[in-house]
Amino acid sequence: MANERSDSNLITREYFDSLLLEMRHIDSVIPDTEIDLFGEKFSMPIATAALSHLGNTAPDGMAKMAQGAYEAGALCFSGMGTAEEIRSMCATGAKVIKIVKPHADNATVLAKIREAEETGAFGVGMDIDHAFSADGTYDNVMGLPMKSKSLAELRSFIESTNLPFIIKGVLSISDAEKCLELGADGIIVSHHHGIMRSAVPPLMVLPKIKALVGDRMKIFVDCCVESGMDAFKALALGADAVCTGRAIMPPLKENGAEGVRDKLLTMNSELKGVMERTGFAKLSDIDNSVIYHRNF
């Protein structure tokens, strides 16, 4: 029971479900969910998460995820993978942001950034929360050594590319402030599916991060985003957009790109349904005035 109480995924799910909404029907209209992200228009503020190794879920799973995102009009993030895999994802027409691991060797990081540029990626970034293991050492991901990065190192990565640069794994005001200082184009507020036990839910720290960041960089939220209702709650608390990962994996396995597309479209329809019942006509109108915390 103690372990369950400290499971960050369960805590995050419980926090999502603890948030309640008031309804506002008078003067409400059918809403618009179009969003501009880094100079590109998308149909929804829901992106695929930076997943990896989806060939284990479906043949050519990464390309099919990208195809589904493209057909839904959504942004697509990608995690670990080969140059050929990223090229196949970009070939679908999807706008793909490649998230690079914090490899111990900075030359490897820079090579991965160049690889993303050369294969047609829309953006690039770094997964900073995979630097450490749980036993007081640096992490090792599939035999690849990782290492934490300093401000100077991160700045060198950002300055090495003209692509939008997104930092993933931000879960504090401290790191958000440093990302601003670095000139990052965006952050993903996330605990990487419970990489640390008892991690604060992204939505709990999100309002403080938004108060600091304002509109100076894009804020994405990842972890346990499973529905349009979840997306709305994140947007209401300060996110510009959300990422969904585990929710698209069963549809990907069952129906490939079509399954991913349909899941994203369903989530966006759910988001529109919440917006129209809370009185928000467009994404920029959404605020936290409709949010209540269940404490009964």
Instruction: Give the separation between CA 253 and CA 217, rounded to whole angstroms.
Output: 34
List 25, 192, 193, 293, catalytic entry: 192
Residue 261 phi/psi, 5-degree rounding, is -55, -50
Cα→Cα distances 65→93, 165, 203, Å: 12, 21, 26
- Catalytic status, residue 53: no
Rg, the chain, Cα only = 18
Residues with active-site annotation: 192
